[in-house]
Structure 1
Amino acid sequence: MFATKTKSFICLLTTILSFTVLQAQSIEGTPYCLPKNGARFTVKVEKTQYIPGRFCQYSMRYMKLNVSQQPSTTYRIIGIDIDPIVRPDTSRHFKLIIDKKRSISKVTCTPDGQLLAINADASLVAPTVHKFTPAPKPAPLNPAEFMTEDILNAGSTAKMAELSAKEIYDIRDSRNQLSRGEADFMPKDGTQLKLMLANLNRQETALRQLFEGVVTKDTTWTTIDCMPMKEGSSVFFRFSTRRGLVDADDLSGEPYNLIVKNLNTAPAATPTPAGQKEDKADIGLRVSKPSRIKLTLQHNTDVVATYEMNAAQFGTVESLSGELFGKKQSAALWLDPMTGSVKEIKQITP
């Protein structure tokens, strides 16, 4: 019994000591990385489906309408939204080394290791979310519910089409008479008139579908992320009017190219003089000096969208001296969570 308790106490003490050591190491030697920036494209595509009507072959004879007799599905891009995104740049990975001369009590990083602040709290970047809310669709009409007894009892499709067309013209005549105030039975007030006209419109729409067919439209939003690392042009995605968005290597769609151009707004990196002695105040603290880039989405020769943004990976990296965090006078440092550049430095008393 005593041996068991002693063993448990030793295990507990070992766990506490291990946690203390790990906590100290997380401050004294904190690995971190700087960010890289990209763009999220939200491509809005409209899908249009056409289903021919039951009497489509008679639409020209009775309704003077030239309609297709074959079903079809087509797609078109109706809009593109572009928003910045950030990811840790594992190629720019560093380690913060803190000795006894430095007053650093807190290092704030994102869960994936991006440095956010020193001696201060910082919040993550909330990504922009475009929420698509589909519009409510009216219940589909059933033309059979609006057919007269004569139409339903007709002996052939051609006769049904003829009688349906006649019914459509009768509905139009009734609507015109109501609008002019010439109907045999006029409504009592404006509200009743609106109801009667709406009912006639509904009947006509249902019967016209027998000739014109039915067209339905749906909209989908697809997000595509881009994390450019160099200038140039490449196929970003392909689009087919028959299949919609397809992969970049699917030749059934036409290419949409993304052109990346560095605007070179970042200051040039300062070269290290030959033979320079090691900086004793260097604690491994690095920050970004981002450059501005321009993204151009192009289809053939048409520019579909352009977007300018700061991109840390196209800029330079600068070293900050550990003297900022002295024992007598220290500092709180905040980095821009998007680019890793210095956002704010504030003096604090340790």
Structure 2
Amino acid sequence: MRKLFIAGLLAVCSGAFAQTETSNYRPGVTPEGAVYFLPKTVLRFVVRVEKTTYTPGDFCRYAQRYLRLNDVEAEASTTHKLISMTMGTYGEADKAKGYAVKFNAKTSACNISLADDGTLLAVNATARKPEAPVPFAPAPKPAPVNPRQYLSEEVLAAGSTAKMAELTAQDIYDIRDSKNYLNRGEADYMPKDGEQLRIMLANLDRQDKALTQLFTGTTTKDTTEYVLTVCPQPGMQKQVLFRLSQKLGLVDNDDLSGEPYYISVTDEQSLPAAAPETEGGKKKKEKEDGIYVNIPGKITVNIYKGATLLDSFETSAAQYGYTELLSGELFNKRYTTHLTLNPATGAIDKLDAEQPE
């Protein structure tokens, strides 16, 4: 963010002037004064996708025979699924809403704060900082366990996979019997206190889980966060927001291997009509003193998975409203006016005036 300290405020060019050659506007100080933009609202979607990877165990084909475990898969697989989606907003400079600000010695000294892209943030006030997205931090994973370190010498010396599976299954049953004896207080060597009992049971659980994985396989889950941005416009209906493939995860919007998720935007038309361009049958002056701000409209954003409504969000968007002029009378020398704008919509967050003593 940079600040422009201006010795006097301000004659603002009319909307008609702002519409000409706005793409060539360069925000900041000019010989005549300064240039600023009002923002348009951009939707930011945070999509989290969970990847599940299954790796079969070495003895998976013997799981039903020796451990009575059904439906144990013998083939590796990878699947993806959507686990959460949230929506936020931020503002970026609307090049169709650029306004030239001229110095005017009749007004009080003024401090204008602009964002890096030239968006107006505040006048005579500390600008509200846009909320930065919180970076995604996946939960730490436990260290993987190598089940082979728990295999006995007899198992390792077995001449076939089937025999190794049989002996490993017998070790698993022995471990479970030991746990039952400890829990019942019937073990040959009972621990002296509760802490020793807890440690012994934890070790037996760890061995049981590791050896059982040789039959059931292992499943790992990883979560990936994707950030998608969309600038909503009137008439946006059933546009592809993203595609999700069960095998490949998030894919390009034109990749038909992914199932489409659509976005639709509805203008709630919650605002009255904008003020007319004429007063008393006469056209308004082409130049008026003051500061332009946005009056955003309300929209509803619907997300669909195929034809099914998945989620719905409500927010304000600058491009669904209109622009209003704050009179230059607010900035004359009788007052010190403080104006703070919402960085996502360009609407007034706070407006107050201090009358000098």
Both structures adopt the same fold (TM-score exceeding 0.5): yes
- 118, 121, 132: which one pairs with 2:125? 121
CA distance in 2, matches of 1:208, 1:269: 70
The answer for the alignment partner of 1:101 in structure 2 is 106
Counterpart secondary structure, 2:36: strand
- 29, 32, 57: which one pairs with 2:61? 57
Shift of 1:207: 0.8
CA distance in 1, matches of 2:29, 2:140: 57
Name the stretch that deviates more: 81-90 or 67-76. Answer: 81-90
The answer for the alignment partner of 1:13 in structure 2 is none
- 170, 173, 177: which one pairs with 1:169? 173
The answer for the alignment partner of 2:192 in structure 1 is 188
- Give aligned-pair identity as a percent: 44
Q: In the TM superposition, what whole-angstrom CA distance separates every residue of 1:74-110 from its partner, at most 9, and x where no partner exists?
A: 1111111222211111111111233333334332222
1:298 aligns with 2:319: no
Amino acid at match of 1:249: D
Name the stretch that deviates more: 69-78 or 263-272. Answer: 263-272
Counterpart secondary structure, 1:106: strand
Name the stretch that deviates more: 164-173 or 275-284. Answer: 275-284
The answer for the alignment partner of 1:346 in structure 2 is 353
Indicate how the Cα distance of structure 1 residues 171 and 211 shifts in structure 2: closer, same or farther if over 3 A, else same.
same
CA distance in 2, matches of 1:325, 1:140: 66
Contact 2:113 2:127 in 1 (8 A): no
- 314, 318, 321: which one pairs with 2:320? 314
Q: In the TM superposition, what whole-angstrom CA distance separates every residue of 1:146-169 from its partner, at most 9, and x where no partner exists?
A: 111111111111110111111111
Using the size of structure 1 for normalisation, the TM-score is 0.86
The answer for the alignment partner of 2:78 in structure 1 is 73
CA distance in 1, matches of 2:326, 2:307: 45
CA distance in 1, matches of 2:128, 2:252: 32
1:334 aligns with 2:315: no
1:241 aligns with 2:241: no
CA distance in 1, matches of 2:179, 2:243: 48
Amino acid at match of 1:108: S
Q: In the TM superposition, what whole-angstrom CA distance separates every residue of 1:179-218 from its partner, at most 9, and x where no partner exists?
A: 1111111111111111111111111111111111111111
Shift of 1:303: 2.5
Using the size of structure 2 for normalisation, the TM-score is 0.85
Q: In the TM superposition, what whole-angstrom CA distance separates every residue of 1:314-343 from its partner, at most 9, and x where no partner exists?
A: 101112222332244453333333322233
1:142 aligns with 2:149: no
The answer for the alignment partner of 2:227 in structure 1 is 223
Shift of 1:28: 4.5
Contact 2:57 2:213 in 1 (8 A): yes
1:44 aligns with 2:48: yes
Counterpart secondary structure, 1:232: coil
Q: Structure 1 runs of 4+ off > 6 angstroms?
A: none
Amino acid at match of 2:340: W
1:324 aligns with 2:330: yes
The answer for the alignment partner of 1:17 in structure 2 is none
Indicate how the Cα distance of structure 1 residues 264 and 280 shifts in structure 2: closer, same or farther if over 3 A, else same.
closer
Name the stretch that deviates more: 145-154 or 321-330. Answer: 321-330
CA distance in 1, matches of 2:311, 2:31: 45
Contact 1:102 1:327 in 2 (8 A): yes
Q: In the TM superposition, what whole-angstrom CA distance separates every residue of 1:192-251 from its partner, at most 9, and x where no partner exists?
A: 111111111111111111111111111111111121122322110011111111122111
Counterpart secondary structure, 2:282: coil
Indicate how the Cα distance of structure 1 residues 76 and 160 shifts in structure 2: closer, same or farther if over 3 A, else same.
same
Query: What is the root-mean-square deviation of aligned Cα atoms in Å?
Result: 2.3
Contact 2:299 2:316 in 1 (8 A): yes
Q: In the TM superposition, what whole-angstrom CA distance separates every residue of 1:37-78 from its partner, at most 9, and x where no partner exists?
A: 122111111111111111111111111222111111111111
Hey, which of these two has a bigger chunk of helix by percent? 1
Name the stretch that deviates more: 217-226 or 299-308. Answer: 299-308
Counterpart secondary structure, 1:209: helix
CA distance in 2, matches of 1:301, 1:101: 60
Indicate how the Cα distance of structure 1 residues 272 and 280 shifts in structure 2: closer, same or farther if over 3 A, else same.
closer
Indicate how the Cα distance of structure 1 residues 325 and 278 shifts in structure 2: closer, same or farther if over 3 A, else same.
same
CA distance in 1, matches of 2:318, 2:231: 11
Whose radius of gyration is greater, 1 or 2? 1
CA distance in 1, matches of 2:187, 2:29: 91
Indicate how the Cα distance of structure 1 residues 26 and 121 shifts in structure 2: closer, same or farther if over 3 A, else same.
farther
Amino acid at match of 2:49: V
- 112, 122, 132: which one pairs with 2:117? 112
